[in-house]
Amino acid sequence: MKPFDLIIGAALGLGVAACASVELAQTDAEITAVAPPVEASADDAGLDVVVHEGDFAEIQQFTTPGGVSVWLVSEPSIPILSVAMAWEGGEAADPDGLEGLADAVAYHMNEGAGDLDSLAFQTRMEELNMSFGCSASNEWTSCSASMLTDNATDAMDLVAMAFEAPRFDEGPFARFVREQEVSLNTRETNARYLAGRAEAAALYPEHPYAREISAESVAALTPELAKAHMRKLMVKDRLIVTAVGAVTPEELAPMIDAVAAPLPESSDLPETPKIAFTAEDKFDTIVIDLPQPQSLVRFLAPGLEREHPDFFTAYVLNYTYGGGGFGSRLMESLRVQKGLTYGVYTGLSYDEKYQNWGGGGQTRNESVGEFVAALKEETALIAEQGVTAEELADAKAYLTGSYPLAFDSNAKIAGQMMGVRQDDLGVDYFDRRNALIEAVTLEDVNRVAAEYLQPDRLSFIVVGQPEGLE
């Protein structure tokens, strides 16, 4: 029995769920190849289906007659179909002065279409026992839909209507504007937001990622602008699809083509430049005054690109450093031994355009100096002495053993496949992923620790009213 068989079996009774974000992953050309794909021909639709017979799952890859690339896991025992759709291009492509436009597009995709206003559209989704919604990130615009297989045709017809005849009515648009205004009013007291803004100002002030939604940009948005921008974000040549459920390729293909049919063939969205973050970009500690009893401490250093040969070694090392909860070095030192924080974490940012290795935690204002000193001390210790064989074994056991938990519903499986597609990791990634972890050696981990976890590589941002900083 394949791992997906066990995973999918656990999904029965979970019902409709939203897509989950993909976990850290990377390509590695040196990993041994898996079984070669098998060519198959779909009888009814004349589809050329490439079947990946991996140990983890059977993934069927095909292009619909309308030209949409699809990955499908067919699972006839689960009466739920989950479909994930994504278009390359997102918030970073908002025109200057119209920040928030991509978010406005995504917000309105389930707020009425054709003869159905917002309430009628939501009522129809309830009648069909389905979910459908969209979101925008820096580089992607995404939509997901989940439904009972028995209702799949009608449910996907409703999704197709949303793309063919979206309404962008004044009522939902006014609601969107009000929600943005509330967010604008609260963000100036949000420590994480303030830290992120300071990071952008310090490292990439002129980059699209540094642009913010403002009262002025929200006021400039209109339903007409959002509707027009939708036809730039959601185009056929940027669309990729993943799906999991009790359907065959020939059953799914016409549903996907109905969704894609009204979309423009292409558009001219601007390319987002990469952000260069190196050791030379280290900045002096930034303090942002925010009256509150605790300070947020954000720390970061240059990271690694996904294709870097040391990326996966760093991913495993990060578990021991600060990514492993109570099992991590930083948590053991700063919380358990010194009582300086309730929690501290680290993680690798692996965005294609911007990479860092950082983390954060909160501590009392009066203990910020001690918190920073202890963090530097623990970072220096792991850089100088490395990790133990036992710590490496624990990291591998957790990272491989917990992986199936990311696949406990059809929607999550579709979301994981979408992440693999977006990051161009290859259809065999699910079969290679745990092997990548197991291949990491103690020598590799300690070499990467010595190179990347030197405390003098860290830059700090503190939001609060800290004391004791040098």
Express each pLDDT in 417-457 by its tens digit.
999 999 999 999 999 999 999 999 999 999 999 999 999 99
Share of the chain above pLDDT 90, in %: 85
Q: How many CB atoms lie within 10 A of CB 317?
A: 29
Identify the residue whose tokens are 């990051």. Answer: 423
- At 337 the pLDDT is 96
* DSSP state letter for 215: H
pLDDT band at 1 (very low <50, low <70, confident <90, very high): very low
Share of the chain above pLDDT 70, in %: 90
More reliable by pLDDT, 107 or 1: 107
Mean pLDDT value of segment 372-396: 97
pLDDT band at 45 (very low <50, low <70, confident <90, very high): low
**What backbone phi and psi angles, to 5 degrees, belong to 351?**
-55, 140
Q: Using DSSP, state whether 276 is helix, strand or coil.
A: coil
CATH annotation of 34-260: 3.30.830.10
The CA-based dihedral angle spanning residues 313, 349, 423, 36, taken in that order and rounded to the nearest 10 degrees: 20
Residue span(s) of the chain under CATH 3.30.830.10 come to: 34-260, 279-464
Mean pLDDT value of segment 118-142: 97
pLDDT band at 9 (very low <50, low <70, confident <90, very high): very low
Whether 99 has a pLDDT exceeding 80, the answer reads yes
- At 78 the pLDDT is 84
Identify the residue whose tokens are 């799952």. Answer: 57
Pairing between β-strand 459-464 and β-strand 286-289 as defined by DSSP bridges: parallel
**Helices (runs of H) and strands (runs of E) counted in the chain:** 16, 13
Give the Å distances, CA to CA, from 419 to 80, 314, 412: 20, 20, 10
More reliable by pLDDT, 46 or 92: 92
State which fold the 279-464 domain adopts: Cytochrome Bc1 Complex; Chain A, domain 1 (3.30.830)
More reliable by pLDDT, 28 or 193: 193
Q: Which of 160, 142, 131, 151 is nearest to 15 (CA)?
A: 131
Mean residue pLDDT of the chain comes to 90
Pairing between β-strand 130-136 and β-strand 140-148 as defined by DSSP bridges: antiparallel
pLDDT band at 5 (very low <50, low <70, confident <90, very high): very low
Give the Å distances, CA to CA, from 356 to 305, 349, 431: 9, 5, 27
Q: How many CB atoms lie within 10 A of CB 187?
A: 15
Q: Using DSSP, state whether 365 is helix, strand or coil.
A: helix
Whether 21 has a pLDDT exceeding 50, the answer reads no
Are 140 and 86 within 8 A, CB to CB? yes
Identify the residue whose tokens are 């976890």. Answer: 453
- At 97 the pLDDT is 97
Whether 15 has a pLDDT exceeding 50, the answer reads no
- At 43 the pLDDT is 45
Q: How many CB atoms lie within 10 A of CB 141?
A: 28
* DSSP state letter for 115: T
Whether 256 has a pLDDT exceeding 60, the answer reads yes
Whether 38 has a pLDDT exceeding 80, the answer reads no
Identify the residue whose tokens are 């036992």. Answer: 390
Distance CA 269, CA 92 (A): 10
pLDDT band at 404 (very low <50, low <70, confident <90, very high): confident
Whether 93 has a pLDDT exceeding 70, the answer reads yes
* DSSP state letter for 119: H
Whether 407 has a pLDDT exceeding 70, the answer reads yes
Distance CA 188, CA 216 (A): 16
